[in-house]
Amino acid sequence: MGEQPVGTGEKRVTWAELYFDLVFVFAVTQVSQLLHHHHDLAGTGEALIAFVPVYWCWVGTTVQANIRDVDTPRGRLGIFTVGLAGLFMALALPGAYGSRGLLFGAAYWAARLVLLALVAGIRGVWRGPYGVGALVSGPLLVAGGLLEGGPRVALWALAACCDLAAPLVFRGRLAKVRYDPAHLPERFGLFLLVALGESIVGIGGPVAQSRLHAAQLVSVALAFVISCALWWLYFGYAADAMRFALEVSESRRDLIRWVFSYGHLALIAGVVAVAVGFGETVAEPGAALGAGALGLLYGGCALYLLSFSYTRKMMFGVISPTRLAAAVLLLAVLPLLVRLPALAALGVLAVALVGLNGWEYLRVRRAAAGEPVRSAA
């Protein structure tokens, strides 16, 4: 599977790609609303099944833009066409498991067919992830949209598994593709920013029309500190490491698959869960959180932190002990907070994440100075 060179110099994100991302700002909001209305175990699973095609559509477009020159009329029209299909998917999400299932499936299939056409010049491309999306997972989503209840969920789950498995099954074919190491870290970082933007909506949306008493203002401030801490953990420490790892990697294909395609799915899912948790928390800071809302808030943060240990292991062969310990701590204290006011839950989480960022800042400074870092007592 040969590919044309992507050009000389560092590949940059195009304006068309940034405009394309605006569709997925809306799509992430719709996924959040789906999870907001049904955040029990079954609802969380259904939201994840619906999110995977949305995310995979974005990934397919981003990888296509990485290996091809898309800053052309044809490339821009292709990206915008996929964006239109993504917009239809987003519109279908509130009723994806109801009357809009067929619209969701058909829009995804259309997006995958367009993406396959955009990379049609690559020899044997249909025997890879783009072919799987157009010939397998797309039809499965359409077929699921024609059914109801359990059969729809089952077919859509199978489609999601097919999409996720395709890079593994066809990893030998993907090894022949030339990837630009500067473009992909920037693109995936931008999608994470989209998810973090949803956390801001989750903070401000529930209280924007209320009387804004003092406890609500404190809860908004604490939630914003948590969102900032999540930003810092990625963009303060991990983003540059991911780009460096991709630049020096002997197998960019494997790193893209494990760290970006899969790792960022977990990172973004964690942030979306936290955003929905904010929506359940800041409006009534004096009320005790239920297990579902607390699970989204603390479980989402734990997933986010665990994802860093996974990505670090994939990049450098070691885990992130501080983030792993913080994730375990959050899960351990979760049952103790069920009966406490929401404000207390936000405060504990804010202190934990700020403390984690402070500890990692000291580790980085001491490592740069060549000083040994002693274990925390």
Q: What is the mean pLDDT of the chain?
A: 90
Across 1-23, average pLDDT: 73
Least confident of 68-82, 201-215, 223-237: 201-215
Across 114-127, average pLDDT: 80
pLDDT at 98 over 80: yes
pLDDT for 173 equals 62
Across 248-271, average pLDDT: 91
Both tokens assigned to 154: 């089952």
Q: What would the pLDDT profile of 315-353 be if each residue is shown by its tens digit?
A: 999 998 999 999 999 999 999 999 899 999 999 999 999
Of the pLDDT bands very low, low, confident and very high (cuts 50, 70, 90), residue 119 is: confident
Q: What would the pLDDT profile of 353-373 be if each residue is shown by its tens digit?
A: 999 999 999 988 887 777 554
H helix intervals, the chain:
15-37, 41-67, 73-92, 101-118, 129-132, 138-145, 150-169, 171-174, 183-204, 214-231, 239-248, 252-255, 263-279, 291-316, 321-333, 342-369
Of the pLDDT bands very low, low, confident and very high (cuts 50, 70, 90), residue 124 is: low
Concatenated DSSP letters of 210-247: S---HHHHHHHHHHHHHHHHHHIIIIIIIHHHHHHHHH
Across 99-123, average pLDDT: 92
What is the Cα 370 distance to its own chain's centre? 35
Q: Exposed (0-12), middle (13-18) or buried (19+): which is 289, by Cβ within 10 Å?
A: buried
Q: Is the pTM here over 0.75, yes or no?
A: yes
pLDDT for 371 equals 56
Least confident of 7-11, 62-66, 342-346, 357-361: 7-11
Both tokens assigned to 169: 């099954």
pLDDT for 176 equals 62
pLDDT for 377 equals 29
pLDDT for 3 equals 41
Across 126-135, average pLDDT: 87
Of the pLDDT bands very low, low, confident and very high (cuts 50, 70, 90), residue 1 is: very low
pLDDT at 212 over 90: no
Angle at alpha carbon of residue 182, lines to 179 and 188, rounded to 5°: 90
Which residues lie below 8 Å from residue 38, measured CB to CB, with a gap of 6+? 44, 46, 47
Of the pLDDT bands very low, low, confident and very high (cuts 50, 70, 90), residue 174 is: low
pLDDT for 136 equals 96
Across 152-159, average pLDDT: 97
Least confident of 74-83, 153-162, 202-211, 329-338: 202-211
pLDDT at 376 over 50: no
Q: Give the number of other CB atoms < 10 A from CB of residue 356.
A: 22
